C-alpha cells in the first residue's frame, strides 16, 4: 500500500504546484488570513473531509479516520505570509503589494492539502486517525500555534510532525535533530532618554547616540564574555535609530533586537546581564533608559524517538540522498508549542534552487517545488510506520 501512496504523490505533483502558486499569488499577513482559511476549507469541503474552521483564530483542522483503531497522528502546516514586496520575475509572483510568501508557507499548505486528499482516498488502508493542522500566524508572535492548541487541535493526538521547506539545503536533503533543533526567539526594545542640543556644544548634552553606541558594544560582550562558551546563544541589535539632523545632538536613541537561546537558564542569564548593563549606563551617563523584553517562541525541542523515526522514514523516500541529524539552527518556530504537548519532531526538507539561492525572508525568495513531493512522501512513510505497520 505504501507504494500506492508514494505513486499517488507523484501523480498529484502538478496539483501541488498549482495550489502553491495560487497561494503565492494571493498571500495574506499573519492574523489576517481570512481568504486563505476559506481556500483551505473549500478544498476539504469539495473532498467531503471533516474539518473545522476558525480554530484558535483562522486555523483549520481536518480529520480522517482509518478502517480500524490505531494511533492518532497529526501533521501541521503554516500558511501566513510576510510584509515584503515580491521582486521575483516569475508568472506566479505575488499580486498583493508589499506582501509575499517569502518563507515557503504556501508550499507547506500545498503539501498538507494534497497529502490529506491522497490519504482520504486510501483511508481503508490504515488504522487510526490523522489530523491535519493548518496554522495561521507563525511569522508574528504570539503566533497561531498556542491558540490552536488551546482550542483543542491536539486533543487525543498521539504524535505530531511538521516540516519546513528549507532553501539553504539542496533538494533531496532531510535534516533534523534528536533534541534541540531551533532556538527560542525573543525580542527587546531599549529607549535611551538623554539631553539633546547643538552639535557644536556637546558639553551641554547627554548624547543618546554616543551612549547607544557604547551600549551596543557592551551588549555584544554578554555572549562572548559573560556566558559559558559551551552555552549557545545569540544577541543581535537589529535597529538603532537616533537623531534627525547632522548638526543636532540627539536626546533619544532607540534600539531593537533579538535574543536566541536553547536553555531557560541561559535566557535568564542574558536578561539579567542586559538589565545590569543598562542600569550601569544610566548611572554612568546620567540618563534614563526604558527596557522592554518580550519572550517569544520557546525552542523547538524534538523528541528523540520521533526524530529518529522521521529520519528513518525520509531515508525510504527514493529521491532523498541525505537524511540525517545535524546541528541546531538559531532560527525560531512556534512548532515548539506542539512539541511541548505531544511527542513528535520537526524537520527541514531541502528546497534550494540550484544556482539561484536567496534566503528565507528575502524579496526574491523561492524554492524548488520538487521538494514538496519529498515532504509529502516523508509524511506518507510516517503514516505507514505508525498506522499501517506492526507499530500500530
Residue 359 in any domain: the answer is yes
Residue 392 in any domain: the answer is no
Torsional class of 361: left (φ above 0), alpha (ψ -120 to 50), beta (otherwise): left
Residues classed as catalytic: 80, 138
Mean pLDDT of 10-33: 98
- Helices 13-25 and 370-387: crossing angle, nearest 10°? 120
Neighbour count for residue 18 (Cβ, 10 Å) = 14
Mean pLDDT of 146-162: 98
- Helices 370-387 and 2-11: crossing angle, nearest 10°? 160
Mean pLDDT of 34-57: 98
Q: What are the binding residues for Mn(2+)? A: 103, 105, 139, 164, 361
Cell readout for 19 is: 495550489
Q: What are the binding residues? A: 103, 105, 139, 164, 361
Please list, in sequence order, all residues whose beta carbon lies within 8 angstroms of the beta carbon of residue 93, skipping any fewer than 6 positions away. Answer: 24, 25, 86, 100
State how far the Cα of 70 lies from the Cα of 338, in Å rounded to an integer.
21
Residues 269 and 361 in one domain: no
pLDDT band at 161 (very low <50, low <70, confident <90, very high): very high
User: Are the C-beta atoms of residues 300 and 176 closer than 8 Å to each other?
Assistant: no
Enclosing domain of residue 97: 2-183+299-387
Mean pLDDT of 34-41: 98
Residue with cell 552639535: 199
User: Are the C-beta atoms of residues 55 and 137 closer than 8 Å to each other?
Assistant: no
pLDDT on residue 355: 87
Boundary residue ending a domain (297, 322, 342): 297
Tens digit of each residue's pLDDT (9 = 90 or more) over 273-316: 999 999 999 999 999 999 999 999 999 999 999 999 999 999 99
Backbone angles phi, psi at 93, to 5 degrees: -60, 160
pLDDT on residue 392: 42
What's the pTM? Answer: 0.94
pLDDT on residue 356: 84
**Average model confidence (pLDDT) across the chain:** 97
Residue 66 in any domain: the answer is yes
pLDDT on residue 389: 67
Residues 323 and 235 in one domain: no
CATH number of the domain encompassing residue 233? 3.30.70.360
Residue 47: closest CA among 4, 12, 2, 6: 12
| CA distances, 136 to each of 77, 176, 216, 308, 328 (Å) | 9, 23, 34, 28, 24
Tens digit of each residue's pLDDT (9 = 90 or more) over 80-132: 999 999 999 999 999 999 999 999 999 999 999 999 999 999 999 999 999 99
User: Are the C-beta atoms of residues 342 and 157 closer than 8 Å to each other?
Assistant: yes
Q: How many CA atoms lie within 13 A of 109 on its CB side?
A: 33
CATH number of the domain encompassing residue 23? 3.40.630.10
Amino acid at each position: 500500500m505504501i507504494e500506492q501512496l508514494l505513486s499517488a504523490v507523484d501523480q498529484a505533483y502538478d496539483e501541488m504546484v498549482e495550489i502553491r502558486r495560487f497561494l503565492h499569488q494571493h498571500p495574506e499577513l499573519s492574523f489576517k488570513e481570512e481568504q486563505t482559511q476559506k481556500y483551505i476549507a473549500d478544498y476539504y469541503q469539495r473532498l467531503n473531509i471533516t474539518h473545522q474552521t476558525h480554530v484558535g483564530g483562522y486555523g483549520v483542522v481536518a480529520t480522517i479516520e482509518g478502517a480500524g483503531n490505531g494511533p492518532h497522528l497529526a501533521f501541521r502546516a503554516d500558511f501566513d505570509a510576510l510584509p515584503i514586496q515580491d521582486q521575483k520575475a516569475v508568472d506566479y509572483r505575488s499580486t498583493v503589494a508589499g506582501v509575499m510568501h517569502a518563507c515557503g508557507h504556501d508550499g507547506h499548505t500545498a503539501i498538507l492539502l494534497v497529502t490529506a486528499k491522497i490519504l482520504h482516498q486510501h483511508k481503508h488502508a490504515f488504522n487510526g486517525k490523522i489530523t491535519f493542522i493548518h496554522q495561521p500566524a507563525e511569522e508574528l508572535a504570539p503566533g497561531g500555534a498556542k491558540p490552536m492548541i488551546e482550542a483543542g487541535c491536539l486533543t487525543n493526538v498521539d504524535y505530531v510532525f511538521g516540516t519546513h521547506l528549507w532553501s539553504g539545503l539542496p533538494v533531496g536533503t532531510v535534516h533534523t535533530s534528536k533534541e534541540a533543533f531551533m532556538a527560542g526567539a525573543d525580542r527587546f526594545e531599549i529607549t535611551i532618554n538623554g539631553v539633546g542640543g547643538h552639535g557644536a556644544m556637546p558639553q551641554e548634552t547627554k548624547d543618546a547616540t554616543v551612549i547607544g553606541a557604547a551600549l551596543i558594544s557592551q551588549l555584544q560582550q554578554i555572549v562572548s564574555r559573560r556566558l559559558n562558551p559551551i552555552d549557545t546563544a545569540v544577541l543581535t541589535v537589529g535597529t538603532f535609530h537616533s537623531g534627525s539632523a547632522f548638526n543636532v545632538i540627539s536626546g533619544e536613541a532607540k534600539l531593537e533586537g533579538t535574543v536566541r537561546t536553547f536553555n531557560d537558564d541561559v535566557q535568564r542569564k542574558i536578561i539579567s546581564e542586559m538589565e545590569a548593563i543598562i542600569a550601569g549606563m544610566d548611572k554612568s551617563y546620567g540618563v534614563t533608559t526604558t527596557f522592554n523584553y518580550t519572550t517569544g517562541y520557546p525552542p523547538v525541542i524534538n523528541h528523540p524517538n520521533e526524530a529518529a523515526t522521521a529520519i528513518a522514514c525520509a531515508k525510504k523516500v527514493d529521491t532523498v540522498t541525505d537524511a540525517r541529524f545535524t546541528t541546531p539552527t538559531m532560527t525560531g518556530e512556534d512548532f515548539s508549542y506542539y512539541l511541548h504537548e505531544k511527542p513528535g519532531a520537526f524537520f527541514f526538507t531541502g528546497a534550494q534552487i540550484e544556482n539561484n539561492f536567496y534566503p528565507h525572508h528575502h524579496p526574491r525568495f523561492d524554492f524548488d517545488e520538487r521538494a514538496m513531493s519529498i515532504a509529502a512522501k516523508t509524511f506518507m512513510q510516517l503514516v505507514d510506520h505508525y498506522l499501517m505497520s506492526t507499530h500500530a
